[in-house]
Structure 1
């Protein structure tokens, strides 16, 4: 798949799925905007892209902040002249139970990043995507379908991903007349730093045993699916949810 001449924004691309996607897009010739909050990790992803002959636009941004989120779209168009693909990947999952004090503060923080930021960036990007007949890919989770995460205090995370799934379907229906496609990917267990960041009591070995294939995916597996859906090979696909979970949901 060639993305030569395409401009791609990948939020949350300082590590994990987002980093893998940014590198794969660069490998296929795209001009990539890498967006994240960890300057050290962003630098590492930038170096990997530059090894492939592509110089990304690197933006240290908190996309849950409206002013900073707007700067992502503005600086992308200013730097590259257009926008073809928006990958809303930034997200967080805090282990925080509804029976604890402070739940609503946690809920608001998770919803602001996992849902509201994706909606706002999509809103800002839409005029530019109309011009290029581009597409949007939202990165959700099997937690948006399964309530299992609720048992370990991930209620806010699960709820945000369920909402992101339906948001993706709604924008696919609304933007189809402009030639814009929108799809959502729901990974199961993927070996990233999410367990560490969320202070989860679970381990990758536990998640491995929870899948029928008895394995945990690597970020590149999800990145490969992102690139497929963003490519012309998927030109007839919109409003769809793709699950890559090693059989987690059917176990």
Structure 2
């Protein structure tokens, strides 16, 4: 029996680790050919080999999606290899926390570039192909899943500019959903709570010790595979059903 995504193609940004890598594996298990997009080519190649050894199909695309030309080129490489695009998972993200007073504005620029501009560039490049796939067999529907955050629902001290980016992702998701949903391109946001990943490791040591480490030491947090399962659930719904928002939290997260 064919898997639910057999004959389709997915593109996952930030696929070199964490949620992105787990999502790519999960979609490949469901039968999709997967474009692995990220900056760390060695990790992408290792993931591709793993997927193909398990019987799946993957394409390594080393690209920095904060550069519009590279984002557009990443989508084009997937189209040239597989001939179509059915699913886009905008997962690439950066979380640099700390107070607004005395903040390093370069950290703000980096977060906005990855979390907002990279997502916009990739989505814009992918949309024509997703709209086309939604009119074709095997599923006659296409999907965009934007990886948001609990920080896009609730603002917290020390999370200010990260909150800005994730609230923006949620707003963009809903606006785009209204624009293309009647053309059977489903657009949804998946909002993880605390996940064990590299996301927090990019912060300065003093920020980690104040805002990140204590919580992770006291709470049974999510695994990347928990989020990958959520993405797979969203994109394998029947054509008539769309999941606009999915919130996955650690049971202990208040």
Query: Equivalent residue of 1:183, what SS?
Result: strand
Which residue number corresponds to residue 26 of structure 1? 28
Partner residue, 2:68: 66
Cα RMSD for the two superposed structures: 1.8
> Could you tell me how far apart the structure 2 residues matched to 1:146 and 1:24 are?
29
The answer (yes or no) to whether the contact 1:92–1:198 under 8 Å persists in 2 is no
- 2:65–2:121 Cα contact (<8 Å) kept: no
Alignment partner of 2:16: what SS? coil
* Structure 2 equivalent of residue 218 of structure 1: 223
Counterpart position of 1:100: 102
2:130 is the counterpart of 1:126: no
2:17 match: 15
**1:16–1:192 contact (8 Å) kept in structure 2:** yes
Unmatched 5+ stretches in structure 2: 135-141
| Cα deviations by residue, 1:37-73 (Å, 9 ceiling, x for unpaired) | 1122212211221121123110111111111101111
Q: Residues 181, 248 of structure 1: CA spacing in aligned structure 2 closer, same or farther, 3 A cutoff?
A: farther
**1:234 Cα shift?**
7.0
Gaps of 5+ in 1: none
**Aligned residue number for residue 2 of structure 1:** 4
Contact 1:50 1:56 in 2 (8 A): yes
Q: Are the equivalent residues in 2 in contact too, given 1:208–1:216 (CA < 8 A)?
A: no
From the superposition, tell whether residues 233 and 217 of structure 1 become closer, same or farther in structure 2 (CA, over 3 Å).
farther
What is the CA–CA distance in structure 2 between the aligned matches of 1:40 and 1:205, rounded to whole Å? 32
> How many angstroms apart in 2 are the aligned matches of 1:188 and 1:64?
25
Residue equivalent to 2:245:
241
**Alpha-carbon separation, structure 2, partners of 1:108 and 1:101:** 11
Corresponding residue for 1:143? 151
Asked if the contact 1:188/1:248 (under 8 Å) is kept, the reply is: no
Shift of 1:106: 2.4
1:175 and 2:174 equivalent? Answer: no
Say if 2:32 and 2:57, in contact at 8 Å, map to a contact too: no
Q: TM-score, normalised by structure 2?
A: 0.88
Distance 1:118 1:234 in 2: 24
SS at structure 2 position matched to 1:56: strand
- 1:109 is matched with 110
CA deviation after TM superposition for structure 1 residue 109, in Å: 1.9
Instruction: After TM superposition, give the deviation of residue 231 of structure 1 in Å.
Output: 1.1
Structure 2 equivalent of residue 194 of structure 1: 199
> Number of residue pairs matched?
241
- Return the alpha-carbon distance in structure 2 between the equivalents of residues 191 and 235 of structure 1: 34
Q: Tell me if the contact between 2:89 and 2:147 (Cα under 8 Å) persists in the aligned partners.
A: yes
The Cα of 1:147 is off from its aligned counterpart by 1.7
The normalised TM-score by structure 1 is: 0.89
